Amino acid sequence: MLVSELETPAVVVDLDVMERNLTRMAEYCQRQGIKLRPHTKSHKIPELAKRQMESGATGITVAKIGEAEVMLDSGITDILIAYPLVGRGKATRLADLAERADITVSLDSLEAARAISEQVTARNVRVGILAELDVGFGRCGIANEKELLALAQKISVLPGLEFRGLMFFPGQFVVGPTERAALLGEVNDLLGRTQEAFEREGLQLATVSGGSTPTAYDAHQFRGVNEVRPGMYIFNDRNMEGIGVAGVEDCALSVIVTVVSNSVAGRAIVDGGSKTFSSDRYLAGDGRGFGIVKEDPEAELENLSEEHGHLNIRHSTHRYRVGERLTVIPNHACSTVNMHDEIYGVRGERVEIAWSVAARGMVR
């Protein structure tokens, strides 16, 4: 099948670009002696997780138990659930997983740890635990090294749990290179204090898991980090381009849409809206718009209704025709993939493969 024969809207992945992204990250991690544990929430496709394993990853990361279940069913057996699992129901499902694979969970509360401990002990299995450090993103994690140490000490004596180290997510690094460099010093101070505090008390940190796509190639500059969890790097997107982490030529994923109306002056409407792209904002520059139109960078994908993408073409010299197809790099590749049952791997004009997005919508 040819790309031009795909029904639109269709999410396509340029396989040459994706393969280059995978190789580059794997080689960087190997060179630096840092373990690569990609976050598979960016694609939610077991075949791609396996490719990441084949190209050097030591395990994978997921956000939800449902995602872990899908990945485990496909044969991946070293999984970090980088999300605080709270409550008995989740702990029970986690114990099911731990019977079949090496599972690690990150958390920041004793409540979560106790519930997991009870369930895995009843099943006579073990789960690895990473204590989450908040390095300034202010989402999850404990920012004070003494409090984190106190939590880790309590976790390390709970039955069925194996304390394995620290996890942090530097989500505030979705900014330009100068700001990222400025943030690094603060994060390193905290990482240094935390690692010293743990060392003083004799609590071993086998793993210090950091990283995200914006920080992945700087991982060697983060104190003590020996594992990274980039997700987006496999595809890249407009946000990564906007903060200078990737070029347009590194963006493997795009959405092919069709112009369905040009009847309003200064506007063209395409057949993809928020149910195709998600509504995720642009996090760089002026914060406007929902994607880069590759054929016409002067056009602005200004607004999204559910099924309509509103292109502002007032500043464009391109003559828009009903029926013409456009290629759009979305703001956020991960949430775009999550809107689709199937996405396509393409090489040049050929559709080489259709992947089912098997872990899409696995929010539990």
Ligand X SMILES: Cc1ncc(COP(=O)(O)O)c(C=O)c1O
State the residues that interact with ligand X by CB under 6 A.
39, 42, 61, 82, 169, 212-214, 229-232
Nearest approach in angstroms of CB 324 to ligand X is 32
Q: Which is nearer to ligand X, 82 or 152 (CB)?
A: 82
Nearest approach in angstroms of CB 188 to ligand X is 19
Nearest approach in angstroms of CB 60 to ligand X is 11
Q: Which is nearer to ligand X, 160 or 230 (CB)?
A: 230
3-state secondary structure of 167: strand
Q: Which is nearer to ligand X, 57 or 268 (CB)?
A: 57
Nearest approach in angstroms of CB 219 to ligand X is 12
Q: Which is nearer to ligand X, 69 or 108 (CB)?
A: 108
Nearest approach in angstroms of CB 39 to ligand X is 4
Phi-psi region of 124 (alpha: psi -120 to 50; beta: other; left: phi over 0): left
Sequence-distant contacts of 312-318: CB under 8 A, at least 24 apart: 312/266, 312/267, 313/266, 313/267, 313/268, 314/266
Q: Which is nearer to ligand X, 3 or 152 (CB)?
A: 152
Contacts of 30 (CB under 8 A, 6+ apart): 56
Q: How far is it, in rounded angstroms, from Cα 225 to Cα 211?
A: 8
Closest CA to 96 of 120, 62, 132: 120
Q: Which is nearer to ligand X, 3 or 25 (CB)?
A: 25
Contacts of 38 (CB under 8 A, 6+ apart): 25, 49, 52, 57, 60, 61, 229, 230, 231, 233, 234
Q: Which is nearer to ligand X, 169 or 282 (CB)?
A: 169
Nearest approach in angstroms of CB 167 to ligand X is 7
C-alpha dihedral (188, 189, 194, 199), degrees to nearest 10: 90
Q: How far is it, in rounded angstroms, from Cα 254 to Cα 216?
A: 22
Q: Which is nearer to ligand X, 168 or 355 (CB)?
A: 168
3-state secondary structure of 333: helix
Q: How far is it, in rounded angstroms, from Cα 51 to Cα 48?
A: 5
Residue type at position 141: G
Q: Which is nearer to ligand X, 146 or 364 (CB)?
A: 364
Nearest approach in angstroms of CB 239 to ligand X is 9
Nearest approach in angstroms of CB 233 to ligand X is 6
Place of tokens 């990274």: 228
- The radius of gyration of the chain's CA atoms, rounded to the nearest angstrom, is 22
Nearest approach in angstroms of CB 231 to ligand X is 4
Q: Can you give the three-state secondary structure of 39-84, one letter per residue?
A: EHHHCCCHHHHHHHHHCCCCCEEECCHHHHHHHHHCCCCEEEECCC
